[in-house]
């Protein structure tokens, strides 16, 4: 999440393709039979078991077959139905959420808002939409994929092959800019370098526009793509509109605009399959301003076909307590 734009705001290496329960970026689940033989608890492998651990404030290993997505309470799918793909956190993220629950269970907003921050939500100083954490398994054969830029453009080539909508030179420019961050630069700096949209304006919640310096090609891509799936649009028609209607230069800024508008790859998205946020990392006992860029990277993220919860093999929803915005000074001052 990526995490991602939520409401008015949006704000996640080499390509690795997973099947449900497969190895995830070099880390797999510990051998369950070996753990049982040694008298240790098995890794959590079902949504029901995850909820039980959450309620008991236990911290346990989680199988790579489980994924988690935060979503607006009452949603029928991990992401609004117009999205072709949903962003999902890995088993390592789910383990960290259990650690948050154990550590800060007596201060629920630190748990709920901490999870949203770890996912990659911007605008958390004022976020007040009731939000749940869905924990679920995937249907047989469904793939979870690392959302590197190369992955997105391969998927788009498969969907719209031969359109020349996403030139290799522009893809290279985009990947190159994100790959060459300085020691104090982050994904927001890369987004600014590609699109022109000013960092401070983005982080203060301003909409992308020429007024905050956004490049004409970036804004032209948004206009050509049409409505976002957060509104009346759909990812498929959004990408198709961009491919057909966009008449400007096919630059890195234009390609970044298509991903931004059509599939929620917001300004906090790293393009390498890791989450990021400018808020304080809940697991680093320092104020946000004293945490390094590296300390603000969070867990692994994936993209999955956006499937209605009723069509998943199993899932559970955990209500996140967010408290009031006035209670969130820890976002900047630190959690501990």
Q: At 38, is the pLDDT very low, low, confident or very high (cuts 50, 70, 90)?
A: low
Range of the domain at 49: 5-145+299-333
What percentage of the chain has pLDDT greater than the value 90?
85
59 and 128 in a common domain: yes
- Find the mean pLDDT for residues 208-216: 98
Question: In the predicted model, is pLDDT for residue 187 greater than 60?
Answer: yes
193 and 254 in a common domain: yes
Q: By the 8 A CB rule, do 264 and 122 touch?
A: no
| 305 assigned to some structural domain | yes
Enter the tokens of residue 18: 């997973």
pLDDT of 39: 58
- Find the mean pLDDT for residues 299-328: 97
Q: Using CA atoms, how far apart are residues 93 and 82, in angstroms rounded to an integer?
A: 25
Q: At 160, is the pLDDT very low, low, confident or very high (cuts 50, 70, 90)?
A: confident
68 and 139 in a common domain: yes
What percentage of the chain has pLDDT greater than the value 70?
88
pLDDT of 40: 64
Q: At 159, is the pLDDT very low, low, confident or very high (cuts 50, 70, 90)?
A: confident
Q: At 44, is the pLDDT very low, low, confident or very high (cuts 50, 70, 90)?
A: very high
The widest CA-to-CA distance across the chain, in whole angstroms, is: 64
- Phi and psi dihedrals of 28, rounded to 5? -115, 175
Three-class SS of residue 277? coil
- Contacts (Cβ under 8 Å, ≥6 apart) of 67: 88, 89, 90, 91, 94, 135, 136, 137, 138, 144, 302, 304
| 154 assigned to some structural domain | no
pLDDT of 163: 78
pLDDT of 24: 33
108 and 228 in a common domain: no
139 and 25 in a common domain: yes
| 243 assigned to some structural domain | yes
pLDDT of 161: 78
Question: In the predicted model, is pLDDT for residue 162 greater than 90?
Answer: no
| 294 assigned to some structural domain | no
- Find the mean pLDDT for residues 199-213: 98
- Find the mean pLDDT for residues 273-279: 97
108 and 43 in a common domain: yes
| 139 assigned to some structural domain | yes
- Find the mean pLDDT for residues 283-299: 97
- Give the containing element (helix H, strand E) for 166: none
| 277 assigned to some structural domain | no
| Residue bearing tokens 């927001």 | 188
String of b and e for 140-160 (b: at least 16 CB within 10 Å)? eeeebbbbbbbbbbebbeeeb
Q: By the 8 A CB rule, do 222 and 259 touch?
A: no
Partner residues linked to 281 by β-bridges: none
- Phi and psi dihedrals of 301, rounded to 5? -130, 155
Question: In the predicted model, is pLDDT for residue 279 greater than 90?
Answer: yes
Q: By the 8 A CB rule, do 129 and 285 touch?
A: no
Enter the tokens of residue 114: 């901490």
pLDDT of 42: 87
Average pLDDT, the chain: 90
| 155 assigned to some structural domain | no
171 and 138 in a common domain: no
Of the candidates 196, 205, 256, 262, the residue with the CA atom closest to the CA atom of residue 235:
262
140 and 102 in a common domain: yes
Question: In the predicted model, is pLDDT for residue 18 greater than 90?
Answer: no
pLDDT of 130: 98
CA dihedral 152, 154, 160, 164 (to 10 degrees): 100
Q: How far apart are the first and last CA of the chain?
A: 24
- Contacts (Cβ under 8 Å, ≥6 apart) of 309: 76, 77, 78, 134, 136, 315
Q: Using CA atoms, how far apart are residues 148 and 14, in angstroms rounded to an integer?
A: 7
Three-class SS of residue 193? helix
Of the candidates 274, 324, 330, 265, the residue with the CA atom closest to the CA atom of residue 298:
274
- Quote the number of domains for the chain: 2
259 and 177 in a common domain: yes
Choice between 35 and 42, residue whose per-residue pLDDT is larger: 42
Question: In the predicted model, is pLDDT for residue 34 greater than 70?
Answer: no
Instruction: Give Cα separations from 322 to 44, 112, 325 (angstroms).
Output: 25, 5, 8
259 and 165 in a common domain: yes
119 and 168 in a common domain: no
What digits encode the pLDDT tens for the residues 144-158?
Answer: 999 999 999 999 999
Three-class SS of residue 153? helix
What digits encode the pLDDT tens for the residues 59-106?
Answer: 999 999 999 999 999 999 999 999 999 999 999 999 999 999 999 999
Q: By the 8 A CB rule, do 205 and 8 touch?
A: yes
| 269 assigned to some structural domain | no
238 and 167 in a common domain: yes
| Residue bearing tokens 């393009």 | 271
Angle, alpha carbons 293-295-301 (nearest 5°): 95
Structure pTM?
A: 0.88
């Amino acid at each position: 999440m990526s995490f991602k734009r939520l409401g008015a705001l949006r704000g996640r290496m080499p390509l690795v393709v997973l099947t449900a329960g497969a190895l995830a970026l070099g880390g797999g689940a510990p051998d369950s039979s070996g753990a049982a033989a040694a008298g240790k608890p098995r890794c959590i492998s079902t949504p029901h078991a995850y909820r039980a651990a959450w309620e008991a404030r236990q911290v346990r290993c989680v199988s790579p077959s489980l994924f988690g997505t935060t979503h607006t309470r009452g949603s029928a799918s991990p992401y609004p139905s117009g999205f072709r793909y949903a962003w999902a956190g890995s088993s390592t993220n789910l383990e960290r959420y259990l650690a948050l629950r154990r550590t800060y269970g007596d201060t629920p907003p630190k748990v709920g808002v901490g999870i949203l921050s770890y996912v990659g939500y911007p605008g958390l100083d004022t976020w007040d939409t009731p939000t749940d954490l869905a924990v679920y398994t995937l249907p047989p054969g469904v793939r979870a994929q690392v959302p590197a830029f190369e992955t997105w453009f391969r998927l788009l080539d498969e969907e719209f092959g031969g359109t020349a909508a996403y030139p290799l030179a522009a893809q290279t420019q985009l990947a190159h800019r994100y790959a060459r961050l300085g020691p104090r630069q982050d994904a927001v700096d890369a987004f600014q370098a590609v699109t022109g949209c000013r960092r401070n304006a983005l982080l203060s919640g301003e909409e992308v526009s020429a007024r905050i310096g956004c490049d004409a090609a970036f804004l032209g891509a948004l206009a050509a793509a049409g409505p976002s799936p957060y509104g009346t649009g759909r990812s498929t028609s959004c990408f198709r509109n961009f491919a057909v209607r966009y008449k400007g230069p096919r630059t890195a800024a234009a390609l970044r605009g298509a991903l931004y508008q059509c599939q929620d790859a917001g300004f906090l998205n790293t393009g390498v399959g890791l989450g990021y946020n400018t808020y304080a990392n809940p697991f680093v006992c320092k104020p946000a301003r004293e945490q390094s860029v590296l300390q603000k990277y969070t867990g692994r993220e994936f993209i999955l076909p956006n499937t209605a919860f009723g069509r998943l093999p199993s899932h559970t929803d955990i209500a996140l307590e967010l408290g009031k915005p006035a209670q969130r000074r820890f976002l900047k001052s630190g959690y501990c």
